[in-house]
A and B are shown apart, each in its own frame.
Chain A
Amino acid sequence: MSEAITFVMAHANTWAATALICIGLWVVMVRGNLFKKVIGLNIFQTGVFLFYISMGYIRGGTAPIVVDRPDAVYANPLPHVLILTAIVVSVATTSLALALIVRIRESYGTTEEDDVNASDEP
């Protein structure tokens, strides 16, 4: 039992990232409200951010700036830089999605996916 706990705890960040990814995908697929879909998409992407950020981190590691300590351990900055880009992309995606929802609301008068689909039935 304790081995299982150690295994889970040793990969705690990965478990959390996986959980976020699954929750996000679930929300995108199941929720009918367009805003909730965007929120789901954000949760999904946040899971990926967490995955990248934990990948570069070393326990006890410091920011990769030269310090006067011979035993200093540095975290890998590259995944963090990468995910900064991905966060910007995610913000852009979210804002575009919200802008589209505004226009859907203007022309359909609703933000429920089912109502949008239903009002286009011939």
Chain B
Amino acid sequence: MDLLAHLPALQVVVPLIGAPICALLTAPRLSQAFAVLVSLVTFAISLILLNQVLADGVIVYGMGGWQAPWGIVYVVDPLSALLLCLISGMAAIVMPAVRLGIGAETTERSRRLFLSLALLALTGMLGIVITGDAFNLYVFLEISSLSSYALVATGTDRRAVAAAFNYLVQGTIGATFILIGIGLLYMMTGTLNMADLGERIGDLRDTAPVQAALAFILIGAAVKAALFPTHAWMPNAYTYAPSMVSAFFGATATKVGAYIMIRFIFTVFGAEWVFGTMMVGWILVPLGIAAAFVGSLVAIWQTDLKRMLAYSSVAQVGYISAAIGLGNHDGLIAAIVHVFNHGLMKGALFMVMACVILRLGRADISSFRGLGRRMPVTMACFVVAGLSMIGVPLTVGFVSKWYLVLGAIEAGMWPVAVLVLMSSLLAIVYIWRVVEVAYFAPPPDAARVREAPALLLVPTLMLTVLCVAFGIATDTTVGVASYAIGFLVGEP
């Protein structure tokens, strides 16, 4: 029973301790098994926390017994519990396949520490989501960022290293912007606890430092979320990183940026001021719509399908930020649900790329010719997750687009609703290109290509099934999201 009370700490501590132990286990099979164990335990903790939050409300855990506002507290509210489940769930699903999946895409010497780095990245992202302390958030952000720069650089293509360097430079600028914002907030309020900040910020909202803090934090979070036009680091990083890295980060890393945005806007600054006085909605919505169009249009012209998926992520992050920018109830539901849903579908699509690259060694569009018959299960997953990306009913993509359109109409911005639907048509084009080649083009005469091994196929299938399952059982995600909003706007 005592252990249950410490779950919020264990959520972060388990993968944190797991990472160095994993590095010490030199036998590859052993370290793989250990990493799987750690991620499963982490996922189990997230599920228990979500369950507790839904039953009893917000959990506040004072680190080392120091209570807020003096100590660092971990706060699990429904929003963070949902994201904890997404992040640790993705890790638990992807982790068993890592060693097989990276075999073809990493260099020998980088493979040894790969799992430790993955666990560290997991630690960082879980920490960002669970912490209730603004500076602690920055520290966890850097833990996850530093390990993801290194993970991107493990790719065999030399461009992976160049992409990692660009990612590092832009990511560091983004994180340091958040640091400046937090500093300004501390200077004005004398506290770092987010709930405390939200209370003390009151009359200070009209002062220049607080307004500057909002700008710095939003720009920093936008860089981390790869919101157009600060997305420049993402296409190369996700294209040349090993597919397993793209699958995990494509599903989670950009979502953490969106989380930081939501958390600071609603818990710290207060939505009324951000959207009313500062009119941030007029920045987020146009940028989000622009991202949806630019990302989808560029995705249509890509021949490398991992790059296509990366640009599609630019578009999807656009939907999320547009949904946040609407600033009303349905918009926020769309944002939270899409953070979760896009994680599932982008994870599934990148896992398909991992399967294809393992068998064919590359993932450009010409190599997909005839794959519909040669790797039927893999391609079926691509089709289902792709339909979800477009937003076809009965898939998760539909749920989030539905609420986004509802939110736009509620906000009286019907052009936004029209533009969202139009940009979805572009998604049909880039998904259909692949489907056409895979199912209607004759396969090349080369040696027979077998279906991907079960170890990779099962996680891909699981994510795909979840895309449909949460598309049908919409009450779960939407229910948690609207419950979360109650806590965010302070009227549970």
Query: Which residues of A are in contact with B by a Cβ distance under 8 Å?
Result: 21, 25, 28, 34, 37, 41, 44-45, 48, 51-52, 55, 78-79, 82, 85-86, 89, 92-93, 96-97, 100-101, 103-104, 107-108, 116-117, 120
Contact = CB atoms under 8 A, between A and B. Distances in A.
Interface of B: 135, 138-139, 142, 146, 149-150, 153, 158-159, 161-162, 164-165, 168-169, 172-173, 176, 179-180, 183, 186-187
A107 B183 contact: no
Nearest to B187: A55
A29 B178 CA distance: 19
B158 A107 contact: yes
A50 to B, nearest CB: 11
Contact of A100 (B139, B165, B176): B165
Q: Which 5 A-B pairs have the closest CB atoms?
A: A107-B158, A89-B142, A100-B165, A103-B161, A55-B187
Contacts of A97: 165, 168-169
Contact of B159 (A25, A34, A120): A120
A23 B310 CA distance: 32
Nearest to B186: A79
Contact of A51 (B135, B169, B183): B183
A58 to B, nearest CB: 13
Given A104-B162, A104-B165, A48 B179 contact: yes
Contacts of A107: 158, 161
A44 B170 CA distance: 12
A93 to B, nearest CB: 5
A117 B169 CA distance: 16
Contacts of B165: 34, 97, 100-101, 104
A27 B484 CA distance: 43
Contacts of B187: 55
Which secondary structure characterizes the binding site on chain B? helix
Contacts of A37: 169
Contacts of B169: 28, 37, 41, 97
Given A82-B135, A101-B165, A93 B183 contact: no
A55 B135 CA distance: 15
B183 A52 contact: yes
Among B138, B159, B162, B187, chain A packs the most CB atoms within 10 A around the CB of B162
Nearest to A105: B161
Contacts of A86: 138, 179
A116 B162 contact: yes
Contacts of B158: 104, 107-108
Contacts of A44: 173, 176
B173 A41 contact: yes
A96 to B, nearest CB: 6
Nearest to A40: B169
A36 B173 CA distance: 15
Given A82-B135, A100-B161, A100-B164, A51 B180 contact: yes
Given A86-B179, A108-B162, 6 more contacts: A41-B169, A48-B180, A55-B187, A85-B139, A103-B161, A104-B162
Which residue of A82, A89, A92 has the most chain B CB atoms within 10 A of its CB atom?
A89
Contacts of A21: 180
A28 B173 contact: yes
12 contacts: A21-B180, A28-B169, A44-B173, A45-B176, A55-B186, A85-B139, A97-B165, A97-B168, A100-B153, A107-B161, A116-B162, A120-B159
Nearest to A100: B165
Contacts of A89: 139, 142, 146
A78 B133 CA distance: 14
Nearest to A92: B146
B162 A55 contact: no
Contact of A48 (B135, B168, B183): B183
| Most chain B C-beta atoms within 10 Å of own C-beta, residue among A79, A93, A107, A116 | A93
Contact of A96 (B159, B168, B176): B168
A96 B443 CA distance: 44
B108 to A, nearest CB: 14
A79 B168 contact: no
Contacts of B149: 96, 100
A96 B162 CA distance: 13
B142 A93 contact: yes
Nearest to A119: B158
A112 to B, nearest CB: 12
Contacts of A41: 169, 172-173
